[in-house]
Amino acid sequence: MKYTLSVLDVVPGEFRKVIDQHLGGACDIRYAVSYDRREQLDLAAAADFIWVGWPPVDAEMIGQAPKLKLIHKCGVGMDKIDLNAARVLGVKVCLTAGINAIPVSEMALLLMMAVMRHIVYANISFRSGKWVQTEIKGINQHLTGKTVGIVGMGNIGKNLVRLLKGFECRVLYYDVQRLSPEREAALGIAYCSLEELLRSSEVVSLHAPATPETAGMINAGTLAMMDRNAILINTARGELIDEGALVEALKNGMIAGAGLDVFATEPLAPDSPLRSLDNVILSPHVAGTTLNNMSARAMRIAKNLDAFINGGEIAPTDIVVP
């Protein structure tokens, strides 16, 4: 018997090949061609299994999917999946724990260096016929030796720590769940309050989940704690930042710059003032999306679906709703 797997994300052809390779044997795979609500509901209604990364899976969608047995997140964020509805209707929910640690931490590092070196501004200026060498010399900074504050010390945060070791950075971190002293020592990091982290860090990188407690944690008040030469990186969730407050901070020189891969509303509105600022680098929520990471995601999801179908064990770290 072949099960129906509905992929709710609009994925490019190369990604489809990877998914087909790992899951096509066990499943009839149906792919979204848009994020149109009706299409998304129809795909879910026909599904035994849902593969989802970016689109929401809400109570209406789950309630209209009579065959649905399992929702598998292609990533880790659960903020767009109605977990209560899944529990009530007996639908299992899984994620791919730790799967994005390497690409997202690499993207955070890339954004740090790109913002500090004003690389996008330099490239655009160069292509428009300008030679901004003198201007760039006066504002460029390098990463080595900086104090980096990491908000959220999960898998991504830990991998970022490993990458930063090569730059001899001092690393501070804040998390609601503090690591053991032994783990802190092994990673070479120091725990502090969020306020202390913001006041002491030259680079602040966000890696916290979107929850009611973290919503707007970077706001006018917390931005005012940061040094004027500091930069802010967000590859986690857009909801962590009050974007209006960030725009004002960037316009008024309260912080030096920002690198953003995620936004409170996605896609980012065409008239967003963030688009017009030279001291911010914008990326369309692609930090975890690389071709080689898609292969790792597909392999993990295929393994979990096989375990689900054949009565095997799924790793507890991948189970959200049993």
Choice among 22, 72, 237, 300 that is catalytic: 237
Confidence of residue 1 (pLDDT cuts 50, 70, 90): confident
Choice among 37, 142, 266, 275 that is catalytic: 266
Q: Which two tokens stand for residue 130?
A: 């300008």
Structure confidence by residue, pLDDT tens digits, 32-46: 999 999 999 999 999
Question: Does 107 share its domain with 70?
Answer: no
CATH number at residue 19: 3.40.50.720
Question: Does 200 share its domain with 271?
Answer: yes
Structure confidence by residue, pLDDT tens digits, 183-214: 999 999 999 999 999 999 999 999 999 999 99
- Round to whole Å and give the CA distance between 49 and 72: 7
Question: Does 61 share its domain with 118?
Answer: no
Question: Does 113 share its domain with 128?
Answer: yes
Phi then psi for 103, rounded to 5 degrees? -65, -35
Structure confidence by residue, pLDDT tens digits, 44-97: 999 999 999 999 999 999 999 999 999 999 999 999 999 999 999 999 999 999
Residue numbers of the domain that contains 38? 3-99+289-321
Question: Does 193 share its domain with 222?
Answer: yes
Question: Does 309 share its domain with 275?
Answer: no
Rounded to the nearest integer, the mean pLDDT of the chain is 97
Question: Does 57 share its domain with 139?
Answer: no
- Beta-strand relationship, 27-31 and 3-7: parallel
How many Cα atoms occupy the beta-carbon half-sphere of 277 within 13 Å? 24
Whether residue 237 lies in the annotated active site: yes
Would you call 84 helix, strand, or coil by DSSP? helix
Structure confidence by residue, pLDDT tens digits, 224-240: 999 999 999 999 999 99
pLDDT at residue number 229 = 97
pLDDT cut 70: percent of the chain above it: 100
Question: Does 153 share its domain with 182?
Answer: yes
What is the total count of domains within the chain? 2
Question: Does 11 share its domain with 114?
Answer: no
- Round to whole Å and give the CA distance between 297 and 228: 39
Choice among 72, 118, 285, 300 that is catalytic: 285
Question: Does 65 share its domain with 122?
Answer: no
Q: What stretch of H or E contains 174? A: strand 170-174
Question: Does 30 share its domain with 53?
Answer: yes
Question: Does 140 share its domain with 248?
Answer: yes
pLDDT at residue number 119 = 97
